[in-house]
Structure 1
């Protein structure tokens, strides 16, 4: 009988704020063909010829602003979440990162060393994207083929629309909004190039990139459409919280390069709303379950600076789900539902 185990997977982080560690991390991250999806020669020219000669020092300074005594916030928060999930389930749980020293190979090996033969991977991304969920799936498949042929892998689909996730996300936001005076809530998601959406379109051209098809329910491409999944996350949370139309909107952050990325852009929207007279803004980042560089520095620091520069007064950033007990509980529930499909005995 197979023994089951779970691998939680998040993005990753440099080992330290030293520019050398940041450069090593960025090289692995940006050289991933599902992150920068251009021919390898062009990716080498762009990443190693241009980006890595300037960006590591800048990124190192940004990481230094948000680094905790225990280390990278994303790593620390992911480890806390993993421990809480492990306490609630009866199968081994390991944690790995797609990039950095906490490799997927180490995570799989940790489970194999405990006798696991069937692994459920849970990417800690609510929405599917080429540069997140897909690259994890592909890398896991490569590692299983090369190093772990005895393993059977079960994947976890995007959970952006699961009622229990929406309930927990809404609750986490609602707790912070209680008693808070605000004018607009911005749901800011990590951006991706528009071509990623087209490449993930399993209908080969049904996606019109006009924002309208995102809201037509039942379209088959929505299973892999990042934009749709972000838009629907916002819609479901807004409905749960009873937000009025016009008091919230969806934007996309962290664009890189000159190709068209998903719009509207978060930084430009913050600037535009501030100039239009919005004085009290709330920001939510539902593409992330763990606070990280993109939430703690790009949004909470840079975003706030932009808002104040154009006349904004109050800028409130709501934390990610991080290691909330209720979030750990729903992950444990997904694991238990998967585990009890068989008659596998519980751990002693």
Structure 2
């Protein structure tokens, strides 16, 4: 009979293997998403399939091989472990899908339908703490589009971003505190980067984000959708728990692509400059990610550390993501069991 209510957690995804062909397939799906590279379709095709996919898959495959586990992609393995722990703590079934790659959203929705033929409601949990069109938004849109292709009526609720959840902030702060942050010259919060135009696009008012001085500090309804505001607020909230001196805490943004303006300061540039500014011992945190992945394990823990030490740094430590920590699984299960949506996402979808 199955359940009338299920939860669906969705993470970013990963190639099926480190083979160049699998990495190319993954990058094609990822970069061709109009919410990742928001150009007209023909421009995306020219840029991605005409240029980027001619050189990027080989470079990315090499990077994936540096962090790949015997069990497979770290992000996938960690997400599966987390799903199992959460499912053991919830009152109804919990499924896992990836926005790109496998297990795909379409395949998992079919599995939900097969195992729960009388399901009435799906609770969608995008595994992103912040709202951004290239992460949280694209997950919700993809799930809604996939549901429309199926033939059953089901309600869809979506858990809002949790960057300012007191319980989540406390978990992160406690994890950072375990690494003795006061023994470092600085704690750097490195968030995934996005183009500035994405910030402007997600501003419903069209007149606040990146248009008003100190826009992220001036309260405005658009901050419900503003990635930059939410990242800076998260740093502030975490340090509210850690109680470090303000000059010992900073935020930056990583993983930019192309020549358009992206959120700054850039993490790689800060890692180069910090030793000359007197920061010899650095603790770095990546709060935009709930699971360690290429962007944390290779870009920060390997490449970032090398960059920092080569420029005069003496000690570098990356705090792991929450991954499948028991406390994180318990918090997710609590949210699922008690969830009441904060945004109007109760429309009925075809399934």
Band of TM-score, shorter chain: over 0.9
Give the TM-score taking structure 2 as reference length.
0.93
> Which residue does 2:164 correspond to in 1?
161
> Which residue does 1:322 correspond to in 2?
323
1:208-248 superposed Cα distances (whole Å, 9 cap, x missing partner): 3577121223x100110000000000000011111111001
For the residue of structure 1 that corresponds to 2:258, the secondary structure is coil
Unaligned runs of 5+ in 1: 340-348
2:137 aligned with 1:134, yes or no?
yes
- Match runs of 1:33-52 below 5 Å: 33-52=34-53
| Structure-2 separation of matches of 1:152 and 1:264 | 41
> Which residue does 1:119 correspond to in 2?
122
> Which residue does 1:147 correspond to in 2?
150
For the residue of structure 2 that corresponds to 1:151, the secondary structure is strand
| Equivalent residue in structure 1 for 2:189, among 187, 190, 208 | 187
CA contact (8 A) 1:93 1:111 kept: no
| Structure-2 separation of matches of 1:206 and 1:129 | 16
Unaligned runs of 5+ in 2: 341-351
| Structure-1 separation of matches of 2:133 and 2:233 | 18
Using the TM superposition, name which of 198-207 and 51-60 deviates more.
198-207
| Structure-1 separation of matches of 2:193 and 2:140 | 20
Aligned-pair Cα RMSD in Å = 1.5
> Which residue does 1:176 correspond to in 2?
179
Using the TM superposition, name which of 329-338 and 250-259 deviates more.
329-338
1:103-136 superposed Cα distances (whole Å, 9 cap, x missing partner): 0012222222222231000000000100001101
The count of corresponding residues between Structure 1 and Structure 2 is: 337
CA contact (8 A) 1:17 1:63 kept: yes
Shift of 1:175: 1.2
| Structure-1 separation of matches of 2:21 and 2:259 | 26
1:184/1:209 Cα in 2 relative to 1: closer, same or farther (>3 Å)? farther
- Match runs of 1:185-334 below 5 Å: 185-208=187-210, 212-217=214-219, 219-334=220-335
Superposed structure 1 runs of 4+ greater than 6 Å apart: none
For the residue of structure 2 that corresponds to 1:243, the secondary structure is coil
